[in-house]
Every structure is written in C-alpha cells, then in structure tokens.
Structure 1
Amino acid sequence: MSQAQPGVVMVSLSEAYAIAIGHHRAGRMGEAAGVYRAILDADPRQADALHLLGVLAGQTGRVEEALSLIAQAIVLDPEAADYHDNLGSLRRTAGDPARAAAQHARALTLEPGRAKAAFNLGLALGDLGRMGEALGCFGAALRIDPGYGAAALAAGRLLAGGPEPGVIHGAAERWLAHALALAPDSADAWAAVGRARLAAGDADGAVTSYDRAARLRPSDGAALSNLAMATLQASGALPEFPRADRPEATWGEPLARALDLFLAALERGAGEVAEAALFRTAVLTIHRGMLDDARLERIAERARDRLRRAPGDGAAAACVAHGLYRRGRLTTASRLARRYLRGWSEEAIRADPQAAKWRQVDARPVFLDALAAYRPRIAGAGERSMPVPPAAGGGAILLVSVDSGYWRRFGGWFLSHALRDPAGNRVHVHVVNPDAEDHADLDHRCAAQPGRLSWSLERIDLPVHAPGAETTYYACARFFVALDLLERTGAPVFITDIDARNTAPLPPELRDGAGWDLTVMRDRRARGPFDDIIVSFLGVAPTAAGREFLGLVGAYIGWFFDRGEAAWTLDQAAPYAVLHDWTRRGRAPRLREHEFLRLPWFDFPVKGEG
C-alpha cells in the first residue's frame, strides 16, 4: 500500500490491519478509525475493515452507523460468522431482540462451535421472554467452552429475574454457583447471587452476597447501593417487608448502615435510584425517631443539591425541612416546604404523606398573627348538639372525638377503663355523624353513669366540607368541642384517644387545673413538627391562656379545612405551631410536659406497636 495517513507508511495490507487493530485495542479510537478508512479508501471492498469500523462505531455510541457498516460487510462476505454475531449484538443494543436473535442464530449456523454466538443468542432470547430456549443456549455455550463463566452468570441472572423467582431460586443458585466456581472473585457473580436471594425472599443471604460484591469492587457505587437496599429489606423496617424476628427496637443500626451505604454509593457515582432511596429511607428513619442530627445534616446537604436539579422531589424537600426544624428554624422550614409544593397538584400532594404533612406546617408570623381574627367556616358547617351535657361542678373531663366506626370498635373498651374508678375522671364523648344505634347506646351508657359520662354529636356532610380528610375531621373537631366544654364547665379538659387505656385517675393538681395552663405529651425523638406534640394526651386548663390556645389551634385547623388542605396529623401540627409561635414571641404559658408513652395515667396499646 502507499501512504494512507500522514506519518504512517504501510507496506502491506496485513500491516495496516495490525496497526489499526493495535490502536483499537489500546482505546485510540480516532487513530484506529483513520487507518480503517485509509484501508477502505484503498479498497472499498475490504469487508474486515467495514466490519471493524462498524464495531468501533458501536463502541463509541454511533449505533445506526455501526449497523450500516456491518451490514455492508455482510453483503461482501455473508459467510463470516463474527459479522452476523456482532450485528446481532448491535441490534439488541438498539432494542430489537427479535432481529438480534435471528442474526446470532445465523452466526451459530455458520460456526456451530462459536460459544460467543450461543451466549449472545441466549441473551436475545431472554429479552424475548423465551427462558427455556435461552437457558439451552447458555448451556450450549458452556459445552463448547466449559470456562465460559459469563454464560453461567447470565443464566443465573435470567432465572433470578423471572416471573417466579421463589420457585426457580434453586436453579438460579446452581447456575450462579457454577459461575463462581469459574471465577470465585467475580463481583458481578456475587451481585447476581444477592439479587437472586433477594428475589427469593432471603434478605439476610442477599446482604452477605452483596457485601462480598462490594468488597471486591469498593469503588462501585452500584454495588454499595445494592448492599444498602438489601440491608434495608433485611432490617424488617420496611412496611412491605415486615419481619417478626426483627422488632422495631432492632431497626436503628441497620437503618443507619443503609443510609451510610447510600451516601457512600452516591459518592462513588451511583445514580438517581440510589439517591431517591436515600431520601425515602431518611424519611422512614425520621418517622421512626432513629435518625441522628449528624446523618440528617449530611443527607439534607445532598437533598439541597437534588432540589436544585429536581424541585419536585418531595422526599428530598422533607429531608431539608426536617434538618431546619431540628436546628430550631421551623419558620424557614415551613416556608421552604410550601415553596417546593407550589405547582404540585392536589392529587400529588395527597399521594405523598410528607408533602401533605409539611403543607400543614405554617410557622410564618404573618399567618399566625392573623389567626386571632380568623373565624373558620368548618367550625360552623355542621349541626352540633349535646344530648347529655356534662354535669355542673366536678373535676377534669376526658374528651374523645370519634366517628361511628371508632365508637363501636373502641367505645365500650375505653369507658371500661376510664370510668372504672368511682372517684375518678369524668368523660365526654363527641361522635361525628352517629346513627340511631349509637345515639341509643350513648344515652343508655350516660344514664348508667350519671354525672360521670356526657356526650355530644355533630352532623356534617364531610365529603362536601372535608373532601379527602373525612377521617382527619373527627380528630380535629375535638379542639372545637374542648373550647365549648371549657367555657360550659370551667373545668380542665383533657383530649385523648378512644384507643387509649386510662390506667389511673388523673392526680388532683391536674384534675383541679391549678398552677398550669397547658399539659402536653411530647415525643423527644424530633420526628417532625407534626409528631412532636402527641395529642393522645393534651390538657387545657380553664385559664385565659388555655382558652386563647384552643381558639388559636381551632383557627389554625379551620384555615386548612376551609381551603381543602387538611390531612392526617393536622391536629398535632396546629398545637405545635401555636406553641412555637408563643415561644418566638417570648410568651410563656404555664406548661407541663410529659414523655410520650410514659404517662403514669395512660398507655397507648395501638401506638405502642409503632
């Protein structure tokens, strides 16, 4: 050959190919392409040059060009098995597994001893869902070349990802064991074993396998992300993967490890799946009261970066808001949450529990300043009556507010504990939309406990006045009823839940309302402004501060109902926001605080289950 490229003199065709292939194998794609083109300039019918230039084009992402070049090579040399095999691989890359399979089958016909063609045909058939034929091809590749570990690995992966992973788990493990026998330190094989075990429900085994893969490939973000996912599933903390042998008390360490692994995976290039899993896991860990401030701050920093790229990521926004709340910056947190929710549809907000909860946290001074003058429409939307009012005189009143279903489920049980002590508490039951049977039942119970038991009812069209928040309403209505009871009786009112168990009468200092304005139960695990004050036990004394507090909380709740934005935990976000605002203003109600789940007078069997 004559000079084909400046600085390169080729004396023969074979030497030109040797130079081009040398560049190609060394990754010098531009130089290799130049020599291949020089060969074709000299002789356009050089099928090998067309084929290799097509392979190079495919390797550099130019799939359409690659398909065209290799097809031209096949026209020139239709019996070259490797041309058909590589064209098939390109067609599979282009998303055409049917034509890919035909091309690989042609290669195998031309060269029956070509293990790679059998392997590639198996991959294409697997894409087409023809599992049995695919496994046959992988087996054929191993018969041709017993050391072809990639075929055993592909078979195991195919079985593990099939429609019935539990049924074929054993077969997948056998194929993967074969792959590991050929390559004991294959990170890909160990990762495939992890995937197979996870699909079969063996989360502990998956953790072991993914851990081995991550140790073999410590710089691989995907390996660390897989290990994090398996650790999370093995913990028992995921609602969709509960474990009787992993009670909630054991979740803290694996949740922390999963978060650390996700963070490490992202530092090593893991993608959006790992990033989304990090924020979802952080929200779960916050909800369980198990996320420490240091980890939350690291996660919140990454969440800020995520929100710059994807402002609609609700879990990331929740992580940032929680971080601000932990640092005492609730006003900023509530502003941020509301800003990120702009543009979200109502359906999207209600489908995202964190979005729905944070929308109800409004600590802006301008909003809270307006509450004193706000008269919520929802407070007067229904018709309230009091068939049996509380008796004049007497001590504190325990107030529960329920719908008909909850009354029938828990009412008798609750009263059997709350009214057990003859010298104990008074109880008032408020029922939203009771039927005639509920009415008769409560009248009968009140007659049997004169002076101790009273009740009221409310008839309201909840689908009209509280669309999407029907179950939230009866939890919130108790604040309106509490203010009414406070003004009627001049006695302290203690809001509690119908599924709470009263274990002892309230002590005299609480029953008499002396020396305090508010009594609250707090969850010290910093789970969020909607889970800080637990309204399963909240007492209000008949003082000016107590009345003002109930009025402001009722106005806060009403504002969200009136705008169709009420959701679960509004009854807890409202008192927290009002107390936070009072603290900001330097107001100091006489406050008594008690620890969640550690009250000497109540326990909470349902909430105690987590």
Structure 2
Amino acid sequence: MVDPIGGANTDPETSGLRRRAPEEVAQPAQALLERGLTEEARAMASAAIRSSPDERSAAPLHAVLGEIARREGNWEEGVRHFEAAAAHLPVTWVYASLAECCWRTARLARALECYRRWAEEAPANGGPRLGMANVLRALGRFAEARQHLEKAGELNPADARVHAARGCLHASLDEFDDAERELSAAAALDGSLAFCRLIGFGRPFFEKLAGLPEVPAPPVIAEAGAAPGFSAVVLTSCDPLYLRKYGPYFLASYAQNAPRRSLLHLHLYDPRPELLVEVKDLFARAGIGRYVVSGGHVEVNDGTDYTRRVIYSCGRFLYLPAWMEQYRAPVLALDIDAVLENGARQLVEFAAGHDAGLTSREPPDSPWLDILAGVLVANPTPAGLSYFRLVRNYISHYLRAGEAHWHMDQIALYCSLRMLRRFADPPGIAWFSGEALHAGIWHLGHAYDYKLADERLARYRLGGRLKPDERSGSFPQEIWRWLIKR
C-alpha cells in the first residue's frame, strides 16, 4: 500500500480515502492504530492533514497522531497534536491525554487546567482527581493534593494508583511509615506496581543494609592507556545487544566531547570472548586510546530474562564503590544510550566540592523516578563512598531476596539518601539542572526509538559495520561469575 491519500492504493480497507474529507480519515486511521499498524496509521493521518483545508477539519487527525506520540512516549509531539485537537475537538479523552502529556513535559499549569476540564466532564471518574493530586504535589501544594486524593479514593477505592499517590505524598512530607504502608498496599493490588515493595525508609532496614558485605570489582578483560593521571572516569555498562545498538553513538560522542584527560570504563554483562574484537574495533574507529573494559557473567536464580535485564540496568551500582576506591577520581556514570555533547566536563566540575552530583526529575514524580539513575557523578569522599555503598547494599539486598524490579536503581538512590538524612551523616549533593543537563547530555532511551531519527545523531555515526544484534552467550566462568542466591 502506498500513500492512502494520493497515488495508487490497493488496500481494500483504505482505498478511496482520497475522496473523503480529511476528518473522515480519522476513524480508519484510529482502527489501524488499534490493530498495531502504527506506521500505517501515522502515514494516513499525516497525509490527510496535509490535504486538510483548515485546522478544524484536521482536529480528529491530530488526535490520532497525538495518541501515537503518547504511546511512544514522545510527549512533546503529544502536546503539539493534542493542543491542535483540543482547540476544535473538546472531548474528554483528548483533554485527558493532553493533561498527561503536559504533566510529562512539566507544563504543570496547563496540565492542571486539563485535568480540571476532564473532572468537570467526568465527575464520577477518579482519574482526573488523581492527576490533579500528582500535579499539585509537584507544585508543593500538599494540602490540596491530599483533598483530591481523598476524593479519588472515594470514587475508586480499589485503585492501586491512588494508594501509590498517597505513598508519594507521604514521602514528600517525611511521613515515612505512612508512605511505606500505602506503597505496600499499591503493590499488593497491582502487580505492575510490585516495585513499590522495595521502598523503605526505616531504621531496622537501614541497619540491616549497613551490615552487608563488600562487593569486589569485576575483572578487567581489556585495557589501553589506563596509566594514572586521568582527571575523571566516565563509566557506562551494558549487555552486547545495547552495545551494538547504542554503543557507536555513545563512543563517538565520548571521543568528541569527553572531559579532558578522562578514562573511559566500559563494563559488559555476559560478553562472549569474540565480543572484545568488536569492542576494540569500536574504540579504534572512535579514536579512543585510553580505556578499561571489565566484564562478567550474570547468573540469575529464577532464570528469567526479566531478572537478567533488571540486573543489566542497575548492576554498575554493585561495583561503583569498588571502582571509586580504585580510581580515586570523580566517576561520571552514564547509561550507554546517552549522547555526550558539551556537558560532561561541566557536570564533573559542578559536582566538585560535593560528595555526589545527582539529577532530580522535573517535575517531581515519585520515589522510584525522582532521582535519575542515568546521569550522576560519584566523588570518592568518605560521605560519597558511604552513600554509594548504601545504594549498592540496597540493590544487593533485594536481588538476593529474589525481588528484581525495574526502577530498583532509582529507588535505591532515593531511599538511601532519605535514610542517611534521617539516621546518619548525609552526603553533600550537587543537584544538576535538568535544562542544563539536557543541553549537554541527552538520552536516546530504549523505549523511545523515534529518537534514533534525531538529526543530531548524524555527527556521531561511526564508519564500518557492526555485527547484527544477537543474544550473547556468557563469558567463561573462570573469568568471573556473580551468583545471586536466594
């Protein structure tokens, strides 16, 4: 099938659309989207908008494109399309979706306005009340947030999201026992919120974590030019799949924009020996001559791919304290799907004189999202080491208990900081500005493949050809094995 609005079209479901008014195309485009044919729906709606005589007739098509953007997590595009739709299509679901997109892009006043409009049109629905509570909590208007949560609970008493939002509100107010109770209730009601069970703030838990053993650094499997004298270490970790998907962009951007005299440390999960040939080729093509590569096999007790991928996402925190002690230099830890532009050196410099540099989510969201794990600076001060040891022990505790869940790293960063503030000497934190951070380091994101089309990536393409994505086998067990025991 070609362009459904112009040109030959042999699809019986969409042929003849050229003769329809643009607003009549929205329904078949939505039907394609619901069948999972996202690109076909996008092409159909986009072509119809181009032929639309005015914005009013294009409004339903903007709603379809907004929904596509919302599902892809492309919140800025969602705002653009839903605003265009809402101007001429004032229906409840458009305002509900626009509210979510505005909330995700920190347009809090507009989000609140849309949630209120939704609440007026659907007074028996607790959803808009919950949305207003989240926005008001982010604005620091806690009393109003509590009122809306009470109403949401009356309308939807079995909604796990209400319990989760109550837990977040209690955590914001330092009401830690109440926060744990509500978050546990949310996890019990909804399996998708199982990670809420991992959130803890109490002294017995803190003392238990403090007594866990050290985790040694994994073995080095390749290195070059790693003699002392570097100013900072840039650390990233990944499995072979992500190395092949995002590694070329990361390494090319590192080569162009890394802090001066820095050392690159790449940690690989489950690499085959032949992967080192690819890694060294990537380094050579990027022009990186100073690096350390460590690696090891991850064996999980339940054998599931989910648990393995959770460990891939947070495993570097298990070894971060050991690397901090080894290097005795600032460690800038980044996700492999990051692209460095001009902010890496500034982040290290900004965190100087502090124990850690962290990024808080804007707007504030929850204990599992409020401290971003993808960008941080760890300084090897006594307080910095104490903080990241507690983070390590937090993650290790739950992995050994068989509780591997997404957001574990961000939960550990958040709760460890709150417990140190309650029961010990907290680290001094340099909080990175989200706006400045995004200008210097931006993320592609495994769930946001649309970003791979970003024109900024053109300057970070490496020549040559990578092997196709494939599941890697394990590195020989005599090199290293990390076994999680129940």
Length-normalised TM-score, structure 2: 0.64
CA contact (8 A) 1:506 1:601 kept: no
Mapped pair 1:298 → 2:147: yes
CA apart distance, 1:539: 1.4
Amino acid at match of 1:399: L
C-alpha change, 1:465 and 1:556, in structure 2 (3 Å) is farther
Query: Which residue of 1 is the match for residue 465 of structure 2?
Result: none
Is 2:109 the counterpart of 1:259?
Answer: no
Pairing 1:320–2:170 present: no
Task: Give 1:201 shift.
Answer: 6.0
Could you tell me whether the CA contact under 8 Å between 2:358 and 2:375 is conserved in 1? Answer: yes
- Asked whether the equivalents of residues 203 and 423 of structure 2 are also in contact (C-alpha less than 8 Å), the reply is no
Amino acid at match of 1:232: A
Alpha-carbon displacement from aligned partner over 1:365-424 (angstroms, at most 9, x marks no partner):
221221011249xx68xx943112543342211111111111111112111121226834
Task: Summarize the Cα distance change of 1:473–1:232 in structure 2 as closer, same or farther, 3 Å threshold.
Answer: same
What displacement does 1:486 show?
1.6
In the alignment, which residue of structure 1 is the partner of 2:478?
none
Q: Which residue does 1:93 correspond to in 2?
A: none
SS in structure 2 at match of 1:414 = helix
- Give the deviation of 1:461 after TM superposition: 2.7
Q: Which has the higher contact order (CA 8 A, sep 6+)?
A: 2
Task: Tell me the CA shift for residue 458 of structure 1.
Answer: 1.6
* Aligned counterparts of 2:252 and 2:373: Cα–Cα separation in 1: 21
**Matching of residue 604 in structure 1 with residue 442 in structure 2:** yes
CA distance in 1 between partners of 2:257 and 2:119 (Å): 55
Give runs of aligned pairs for residues 159-308 of structure 1, distance below 5 A: 166=27, 227-233=91-97, 235=98, 237=100, 252=108, 255-264=111-120, 270=124, 274-275=125-126, 277-278=127-128, 281=131, 293=142, 296-305=145-154
Normalised to the residue count of structure 1, the TM-score between the two structures is 0.53
Match of 1:409 in 2: 245
State whether residues 500 and 603 of structure 1, in contact with CA within 8 Å, keep that contact through their aligned partners in structure 2. yes
Q: Secondary structure at the match of 1:166?
A: helix
Equivalent residues in 2 for 1:442-481 (5 A)? 442-445=279-282, 452-462=290-300, 464=302, 468-481=306-319
Q: Provide the rounded CA distance (Å) in 2 between the counterparts of 1:509 and 1:201.
A: 39
The residue type paired with residue 278 of structure 1 is P
- Percent identity over the alignment? 20
State the Cα distance separating 1:498 from its structure 2 match. Answer: 1.4
In structure 2, the partner of 1:51 is: none
Deviation at 1:279, TM superposition (A): 6.0
Q: Which of these two proteins has the greater Rg computed from alpha carbons?
A: 1
SS at match of 2:302: helix
Task: Give the drift of 1:294.
Answer: 5.9
Matched, 1:356 2:187: no
Q: Structure 2 matches for 1:303-452, cutoff 5 A? A: 303-305=152-154, 309-310=157-158, 313-342=159-188, 344=189, 348-349=190-191, 352=192, 355-375=193-213, 384-389=218-223, 390-420=226-256, 423-445=260-282, 452=290
Q: 1:505 to 1:602 in 2, by over 3 A?
A: closer
Secondary structure of the structure 1 residue equivalent to 2:437: coil
Q: Secondary structure at the match of 2:430?
A: strand
Q: Deviations over 1:447-503 (max 9, x none)?
A: 786762111112113473666333221221111232222222222222111122222
Question: Which is helix-richer, 1 or 2?
Answer: 1
| Cα separation, 1, equivalents of 2:323 and 2:340 | 20
Question: Are residue 491 (structure 1) and residue 329 (structure 2) matched?
Answer: yes
Letter aligned with residue 260 of structure 1: R
Shift of 1:329: 2.8
Q: Would you say how many aligned residue pairs link Structure 1 and Structure 2?
A: 375
1:559: which partner in 2?
397
* CA–CA distance in structure 2, aligned partners of residues 513 and 491 of structure 1: 12
Q: 1:587 aligns with which of 425, 428, 441?
A: 425
Q: Would you say the 8 A contact 1:400–1:495 is kept in 2?
A: yes
Cα distance change, pair 237–589 in 1 and its aligned pair in 2 (3 A): closer
Q: Give the whole-Å Cα distance in 1 for the aligned partners of 2:438 and 2:263.
A: 18
* 1:174-205 deviation line (CA, Å, top 9, x unaligned): xxxxxxxxxxxxxxxxxxxxxxx989968889
Match of 2:412 among 574, 577, 599: 574
What is the CA–CA distance in structure 2 between the aligned matches of 1:552 and 1:281, rounded to whole Å?
A: 33
Q: CA RMSD in A?
A: 4.3
Amino acid at match of 1:296: A
Deviates more, 1:318-327 or 1:362-371: 318-327
Q: How far apart are the structure 2 equivalents of 1:249 and 1:542?
A: 34
For 1:521 and 1:409, locate their aligned partners in 2 and report how far apart those are by CA, in whole Å: 25
Q: Structure 1 339/407 Cα, relative in aligned 2: closer, same or farther at 3 Å?
A: same
AA in 2 matched with 1:166? Q
When residues 299 and 392 of structure 1 are mapped into structure 2, their CA distance, relative to the original with a 3 A threshold, is same
**How far is 1:252 from its partner?**
4.5
Q: Distance in 2 between matches of 1:457 and 1:434?
A: 7
2:350/2:430 contact within 8 Å kept: no
Q: Distance in 2 between matches of 1:340 and 1:470?
A: 25
SS of the residue 1:454 aligns to: strand
TM-superposed CA distance for 1:441, in Å, is: 1.9
CA distance in 1, matches of 2:106, 2:365: 18
Given the alignment of the two structures, is residue 520 of structure 1 paired with residue 358 of structure 2, yes or no?
yes
Question: What CA distance in whole angstroms lies between the structure 1 residues aligned with 2:106 and 2:351?
Answer: 40
Distance 1:550 1:200 in 2: 46
Amino acid at match of 1:257: E
Q: Contact (CA 8 Å) 1:425, 1:506: kept in 2 or not?
A: no
State the distance in 1 between where 2:249 and 2:86 align. 44
Deviation at 1:572, TM superposition (A): 1.0
